[in-house]
Every structure is written in structure tokens, then in C-alpha cells.
Structure 1
């Protein structure tokens, strides 16, 4: 009896009777004589129950041979015919799929037959499929999740069914169809049914509350496994029964007991006492607070909890204490001496190497005594070395711009201009860098030496800290403008002031209004500022890229006259003569090798500044 396996399931054994064939040794020994041969040369049974042949010779012997030969030929012919019938076609006879008889057909004919059977059962195959997901039940529409019978694959599977000749003649084998499903669409549909029953894995963890470690115990996740879900649906689709979708519960590798042990054996002892860090330049005490800030417990995707000391966190936690053993590197600097750029050499520093310190520290943290580690100081180069600065091509003055300011150096407005100029003086801007004036000076407040001076606020002049810095901003803007540098951000004043070039000027107000430019050259540049009692100058030192940069103005248009506004007298009232409003275009023109290379357009509309009078309006 033959048992055929489909996947991991055994089909029931066929209980039809089988034919047993007993082999006979041929020929029979010639020495045996027929003791009781019947007349006419027939077979006779010898003693012992053995069958024997008639004696040789005579007509009887020849007749027997003819008969035997004919019988053998007939049997062989019959066997060949039966075998030919049994093995006809690509699909074994007796094979059915979804009730369709495919046996004895060619692969192509069987596929057509099965395709027709699928079409006849469209209604049944498209019937909603009940599924059970956890405690939720739902129905899936087969077409919406891509459930279908793969006709070609099913026929190929039917062709592989093994059967003996007799089974091919009288046997019947129902082959299950090969079912396909869109795994992603099925997973999305099943997750919608799963809903809030799912839960993410709670990872094990240890966090710090001051010097107290807090344990987070792990919890397993409960979710679908898309491959297992697809297998269950493929196997259960045509069963006529609801399909139960398996849920996978995944446990983190680290258990709650292991988390508690890590708290007891590592976290608590770690902050019980300081650790002494010894270097060639002296020793530093690492206090428990610094240990807690740098000792991290993290879990990977599998939920394996591990501990490490983060070197950079440790450095931050130790802060100024490392100054006892470290030496800060010093950048190279450039200044102007006797009208020429001069470089002050850089200096290497010494910095604690934290790359291996974490492991060494982690090894002693569980100990109650002998809490000492050895640290290595490594050389740290400055960000700007002497060689790098020398290679930036800062060799000549490429632009300069000066504006006049009234009031002398003693006025608050003048002092604000000078304070900003001193802050920006000798600033180095590397190739590709963007300079921000607000970013460089920060908030211009009283603590930095800025004073109250007139600023424009809501359309009128009022006292404000840092007033007058707009004049320095305009001077710096023009210096970078005529150096041909990229304008990133600037905003002209609301009113026109004759001390500034029209359109090509900029105001500033922290933090909303900023002035920014980008060094769009391959060379470094140095900002040089200088001042006298009534003027401010900004120069840019670098390598010339353009032969010349100049401004061409268009005519003023849309001119409006100022109105007179009377303000309440007082310390906050600032009088103004007023100015016309107008629109104007300015063009920055670049020259290279004596020819105009490009030009950029700048446009602005100035409002008419009212004539402010501090006093009552005449009746």
C-alpha cells in the first residue's frame, strides 16, 4: 500500500485490494521426472506439492511451448497496453483538483480544465473568509488580500503525484490547490482586526533619578507574524472553517530577574563612592554624580540589556575638573601688523582619551574599594593650524568701506558702533562659511557694553539698547558687497538716511533682523575694523577674485513727501527732520579681465520719514 505525502500531512492509505505476484524459478530442473503425469502431456503434481513439466520430446512438448509462447505474448501485450493507458498524459489518471478531473491530460489541457473549474466556483472562492485574531473575529474578502488559486503551480504539483500502475488505473487522488496571497495586504488587514490587542515589547532598562537607579522590567510583545499568518490563511481558505490566525509573543532576552541583578551588582555600587582617575599630568576625582550621568544602560532590538560608560558624557560631567590635567589647543590667529597680515602660530593641546576609559571605568564600578583607573592624555590639534591658516591666501586688501557718524566717540550711539566693530575685528571667515552678525555678537545688551541710543520702532525713533549698530552693519555689508561676496541676508532701513548709500545698506535688530554673507571664494578672509572720532571703516583681506566691483543706480521714482507728526514731549521723544520716500534700483556690477562678467539687482522702497516734533500741535 502506497502513502503519498503532501507537505507535512499524510493522506489516508488506499484500502483497495492489491494483486500479489509470486515469482517462479525458471526453468524447472530437467532431472525431475513426472512421477504421476497425466495422459495427454498435461501438468501433474509431484510428491511434495511441486509442479513439473512433461517429459521432453513428442508432440506434447511442442504444443506446450507454443501455448506458453502465446500466453506470454498476450500477457506482455496486455501489460504494455495497460501501462500505456495508465501513464498517458502529463497528469496521473485519477487526479482531481477542486472536483475537476485532470488525470490523463496534458499540462496545458489540465491547466485549461482547472481554470474553468475555478471560474465555475468564483462565487464560492470569493465568499468572505472568517478569521479569528486573538479575541476578535472578522471576515476578509479574498480578492482584497490577493487570495487566489495559482492554476499553473497547481497543475505542476498534480504532475508530481506518485502512483503505481494499478493506482493509476483504479485510484483517485484529490490534490489540494496551490494558493497565493498578498502578504503585505493580508498583514495590514489582520493588524486592523488585531487592533489594541497587540502590544509592543517593553524593553528592559535602568535609568537614573539623581543617584538612584530605577529598573524597568521587560514585557513580551504580542503581534502578528506575517509569514505565519499567510500560511494559516493559505491552508485554511478552502477548508470551510474559520481560520485562526496565530499570534506571536516575543520575550526580551534579558529577564526581569537579570535587570534586578544588574541594579544590585552594578548600578548601586557604581555610585557608592568616587573613582580616582590618574594621568601623567595628575589625578582627577570622578564623583558619583558624574558616574551616574555617564553610565548608560541600553537594550538592543532583541531586548538584551547592556551597560557602558559614555566617554563624552563623562567629559561633559567632569567639566572644569579636567582642566587640572588637560591643556586646551590654541588656534592660529591672524592680525594686521604695519599694514600686513601676520600669523600667530597655533599650539597643540592635551586631551583625555575617553575611547578606552569607559571600559576601564566600567570594570571598577562594581568594586567597593580600590576604585582607581588610569587615563591617557593624547595630543589634540587645534581646529586651525598654522599651516592651514597660511594656506588660505589672505594676503591683500580686496575691499574697504567707510561711513561717517556724528556725535564723537563719547555719544552712546558712537560707543555702540565701536563696541560692535571691536567684537568683529580680526574675524576669520573660512571658504564656504556663512557669517552672521547676530550669531557673532549675540544679544547686544548692557552686560556687553552696549548703551541706549535711538532705534526705529513702530515707525518712529525711540531709545533702545544697541542703537547705532545698524551703521556698523551697513559699513560691513558694503565692504563684503564690494569684495564680491555672496549676500545671504540683509534688510535696508524703513527710512532713508543720507549718511548711508541708498538701497545698499542694512539695518539689524536682535534676533529678528540679521545680516549674513557667505564666503563663496576658495580663499579665507579676514575682517579688519578701524575707527576714528567720527567714522567707522571695515576692510576685507583675502585674495582678489574680481578686478573691480561697482554700483550703478537707476533713477528714483514714486517720491513721497514727509508729513509732520507732533509727539508728547519727554525723555523718550526723539525729534527728526524727516526725509522723502522713494523707490530705487541698484546694480552690483562685477568685472574680470577688464570686462563686465555679471550684475546683480537690488531694489528697495523707502517710506517717507515723518518730521517728528516733540511738542503739542499748534492750534
Structure 2
């Protein structure tokens, strides 16, 4: 049993304890009220920047000012380690930023925390983590080249067609970067370190083998089981199994999710003969010099099948198998260029023209490619100040776009390649632009000299890496007109003349080197050549106006000696 003094001692301690707790609570309540005089409590910092004791707007201004003072540190590149590879990330390029508004929201929320208020009473700062944003898509694009060297790519699911036979491509997992965890690691490291390590993880396509097999059975196989009847106001068309197979695309997006669709461009190409029965093509305004003085040929509108809508409407009927039909709408299509537009742009006379020749007639694959690309460029209008891109005008030049295999230069020798001959048109177009006095933006001559082209002032092309670009630096529009015969291709520029003349002055060849003799393995890929010498040469473009030279542009190129290739046994 406790004695009376002992009981009084315990009771006394309890009273003191209760009083202390009450004092702390009162102090806490008082501190909360003290801290909450402003939106952001006193003593709150972000990256050492004092933003406390202010309204939201004032705190945001203080944070922005503090970040501006640290701009050099915020702009410092971040090194990202991925296994044995490194990638350098520029913060601005991937959208690394401090989200000021979200950070202020987080700082204001600390007002509900009594500990923050107590810290401010006792003069202690409460550090709030900045909210960091990053563009995940741009970040992954910056890191993917390095990750690809040490990781393994996923095999994306798909269904391909060989003729009208569908074949399943089953997915396989790979090793790469997980976008979410990679973005988290980069955000966390950006403001605190110069580098960060992100791990490779197993990445698998979203769609599975079962998904592929299901689409093979439910869509791809019945899709080509028979034709589809397409009805229009102008007549009836037939989409054959071959046309369906050529336009039905069953592939995956970047995450490996199967996305079946009918490709509008491929559908139009596959149905070209059928569409010609019901369509009237629009005709752009053009300039003709037939019979003497140039004149504008008026444009006309056209009526075409709405291929975009047809592609969408066709997909749902493909799983039905046989006895299928779909209705296609017709739409009025205006010409790309009207005669009124040509007149306003000052397109009234031919300002340049250039012709190159080819052999074999129009029946060879190379000649067909030259004609195909010429047709795609014919009628193009280049507005004042605009830069024309040949790759931008034609896009991919592949089998689906009407191009065939013909000799191209690959790894220093001629080999069969889709689109061979496009470089001859490129050279012809380059010279037409050159002699029109237009500004050269991008071109690259061939590695070897070919006598059918003018030395130095010629150009090759390869989609998408090599392009031909020139800028219309005049005050008038330019119409590109192309024409061909059985052995030549011509490109003419129509506009208003700016220069009296544009000519070329050549320097002497120098550093001449003779070709080597080499023997290649006989076979379909071997193309024998006579070889050519290598040399360096200058060409000056001389532009005259009002009888005076107003501009001289120097073009220089070094040709490699082309080996003399023979095909062995």
C-alpha cells in the first residue's frame, strides 16, 4: 500500500503532465493560427528558396525568382546510365521543369500540419519537395538509342499477307526501359545529381499470342475469303481479296497493342483500276507554252470516292466472310491550284528548264521510277519564301507507292534497289531550281561521277536521310512543271523572271584519281560497271541582273573513283 506522501507525489506529477500536454496543445493551436496568417506557412522553403509567410501569388513569384537565379544549374545536362551505355539528356529537350503552381499547392497544404507551424515558431525551416514535370515521350525518345544498344527489342505482334495468305507474327518480350519508372528516376535525380542510373526491365507487348491467333481466325482469314461489293452513286466496284490483303494492316502501336485498320492510301492504290470507272480526277491549273506565248490552262474540279470513309466502313464487314457489301460516298474535290491563284502569284513565264536523258525507253523499271516521281512533283506550287522538299512532296518511295527495283548505289557499288532512277529526276529538278536562281538549302551530289549529269551541280536522294531542298527567295510563286519522252525527263520552272541570266563557270578538275579493278561474285545482285575517275572540281553559279553580275555562288564536290566492277563466275 502506498503511503499518503507517495500518493500525493504521483498525483502531483499527473497534474504537471496534464498541464504540459495542454500547454503544448495550446501552443500548437496558436502556432497553427500564427502560421496560417498567409496561404503558405512561415518557414517553408523549396530548394532552399524562402516562400513562406506569403500568399500563393507572392510565393509563386518568389519561387520563380529563385529558380531564375539557379537557371544555370537547372539547365545542366543529366547523364543517364543504362547498363554499359550512357545518354546525355538536356533538361529543356525533355521538358524537365519545376511545376511552380503544383509546388505552391504542396507548400500551402503544409498549413494543415501542426509540426510545420511549430517549426516556424521555433525558427526552423520546413523544406517542401518541388513538383517536377517531364515529357515522358520526349524522354524515351532521347534514351531509346542508348537503351537499344544494351537491351533487346520486343517482337511486335502482327499479321502479314503474302498475296492473300495471312501469317501470324507472335509477340516476344524484350529488355528495355519502363517509361514510368524511368521518368520517376530522372525527375528525382535532376535537381540533386549530375547523373542517374535507370535499369533495364523485361518489356512485353500489350497484345498476346492469343490475341494474334484470335485476329487471324476472326478477321484476317475471313477478310480474304471473297470479294466485297462497293456501291456508289456512279456505279459498282469490286474489292477483290487481293485488294483487301494489300490494304488491310494488322500491326501494333508503340506499346505492342494490335490495331487493325484499312489503310486509305493502300486501298486507293489497290482499287485504282476500279475507281477509274466512277471517278473524275480534278485538274490543277497549269501553264502551257504550246503554240507560242505561254497561257494559263484553267483548272477543273473532280468527283472522287471518299476513300477515308470507305476504309473505315470496310473494316467491320471483313470478318463476315463472303457475300459482303458496303456503300461508298462520292465527294467533290477542288483542284489544288486554280487559274486565279496562278495569276495572283505572278506565274506567267518560264524562268528555267532542264533536261536529262535516259536509255531503254519507258518500259524499264528505272524509267518507270523516273516517270513516277515526276508525276508526283508535277504541278507543285512553291510560295514566296517557302522551302520545297522533294522527300516531303513524295513521301516514301516504295513498292506500294508504284516504284520498282532498279540499280542504286549502296556501299560503293550498284545493286538493285526500290526506286532506282529517282536520283536522275532529283538532278533534273535541282538544275531547274539552280538555273531559276533559287536558294540551295540541301542537296548532295553522287559519290561517283556519271557523265549523263553535269559535274558538281547534280544531286542524289535517299528517303528519309538524303533530301533535295531549295527556297523560293523571290516575290513570286513558282510552278514546277514536269514532262517526259521515251528517253528524257524535263523539269521547268514557271514564275516571273528576276535575273537576266543564270550561267555556270567551271574550274579545272584537280586531284584526279584512277579507278581500281574489282571482281564481284556472279549473281542477280552483281552489276558490272566501266568505272570512272575521281576528282575535285568547282562550279560557280553566276547571276546577272540589269546587265551586271549581282551574285556568284560557289559549289565544290569531290568524286570518288568508281571501281571497274566485273562479275566473276
TM-score range normalised by the length of the shorter chain = 0.3 to 0.5
Greater relative CO (CA pairs within 8 A, separation 6+): 2
TM-score scaled to structure 2, two decimals? 0.47
Larger Rg: 1
TM-score scaled to structure 1, two decimals? 0.43
Higher helix share: 2
